[in-house]
Amino acid sequence: MARVKQSRSCETAELVSAYLDGQLLPGELDTVVTHLGECADCIAEFHQLKEVRAALRTLPFLEIPEHLLPDTHPGELLSAYLDGQLDTSEHDFVISHLDFCTDCRLELHELDSARTAIRSLPGLEPPEFLTVHRERIERERWSRRRVVAAGVGIAAAAAFVFAIFGPTTETGDLDLIPLFDQHQARVSVDSGFNVIPAFAPAGESP
Amino acid sequence: MADDRTPTWEDVARVYGRKIYNFAYRLTGNPDDAADLVQEVLLRVRKGLSSYTPGSFDGWLWRITRNAFLDGVRKQKRRPTSPLPEDDRNVLATSPSPDEVLASVRLSEDIQSALLKLPLDFRECVVLCDVVGLTYEEIAEAIESPVGTVRSRIHRGRKMLRELLTWPV
Ligand SMILES: [Zn+2]
Ligand SMILES: [Zn+2]
């Protein structure tokens, strides 16, 4: 060692941290390296600073509490994903998200089932609530006809009606109720209808 | 993050949230203050993104983060402070990594409490360098000071830490 500086306020000392951080400006590196070769104080400082720097960098890098992060689930992108309608970056985002998010995997599965069910529906009978509605309209139409028929007031006509439809006076409903029941029976057998209750508004089930 | 596009605030939260949290935690030594700061920073980012012009995103973000922190410190000075109970502190230091060996937990606690004894100017530079991992240039942008100031503060901050860690008060 050429000489040992006694001064604690060595000008080059301040460069030692930057040297450790690889943050010296061009030209400074030579100065520091040369100086470290001849200044015992700076060598001691170099070792101390190196220890402190290393110690700081052992501090654990903490996880951020989850609630601080925004909700970054793909949401409606999942449906577009099933339909193959995502661009590349959206697709990558969805794929990597599904990798770790069980909630979204479950949602995707449900969406997929619903989508498959909808797509496999046959040409359907109208949903039951529509049928019931139409039935009511038709029943009213029958009743009106009966009123008209009664208005005619011909005994022969009455006898004719009796002969055709039997003893009951509820002529119109007699024909429609079995029809309605048949429809109900088919609904319960036809698997194509099974998905309907899940989508029909509440209170529409028989 | 690429400099040629403006990220969404969700991007910022995803990419930088953890760094901001660690910055805040090491500066404050307290998870509640750290969480508050993250929320405040993300709020400011959300508001500020509309007027953000693509450039040095890191400089912009850390300037916001640092200013939010200083505003928080100013606010806190106006109300009486009560030190964190000793029990709490132990929980904090051990909870992040339960399987960590006792010795290094002890060391983290010592480093953390030494950090908290540094004057703010030095603490923020050291944390931005050694915890967040910014370059001197980026730190200079964040604290809106010349690189020479950053260099000197990091150096002197580490020297103070060295003293504090060698002869704990
Ligand atoms: Zn020297
Ligand atoms: Zn998800």
Angle made by CA atoms B70, B71, B75, in degrees to the nearest 5: 115
Listed by start position, the domains of chain A span: 11-56, 70-119, 132-161
Q: Spell out which residues of chain A touch residue B165, defining contact as CB-CB under 8 Å.
A: 52, 55
**B residues 100-139 closer than 8 Å to A (CB):** 100, 104, 107-108, 111-112, 126, 129-131, 135-136
Q: pLDDT per residue over A188-198, tens digit each?
A: 444 433 333 33
Q: pLDDT per residue over A45-102, tens digit each?
A: 999 999 999 999 999 999 888 888 887 788 888 999 999 998 876 787 788 788 878 8
Contact B96 A63 (CB under 8 A): yes
Tabulate helix, strand, coil % of chain B (nearest 5).
75, 0, 25
Q: pLDDT per residue over B106-153, tens digit each?
A: 788 999 999 999 999 999 999 999 999 999 999 999 999 999 999 999
Tell me what ipTM this predicted complex has: 0.80
Contact B18 A64 (CB under 8 A): yes
Q: Does A17 touch chain B (CB under 8 A)?
A: yes
Cα–Cα distance for residue pair B137/B129, rounded to 1 Å: 10
Q: Spell out which residues of chain A touch residue B18, defining contact as CB-CB under 8 Å.
A: 61-64
List, in order of start, the domains of chain B with CATH numbers.
1-84 (1.10.1740.10)
Cα–Cα distance for residue pair B7/B60, rounded to 1 Å: 12
CB B54 within 8 A of CB B5: yes
Q: Does B21 touch chain A (CB under 8 A)?
A: yes
Residue of A nearest to B131 (CA): A57
Contact A14 B151 (CB under 8 A): yes
Contact A52 B161 (CB under 8 A): yes
Contact B100 A53 (CB under 8 A): no
Q: What DSSP state is assigned to residue A166?
A: -
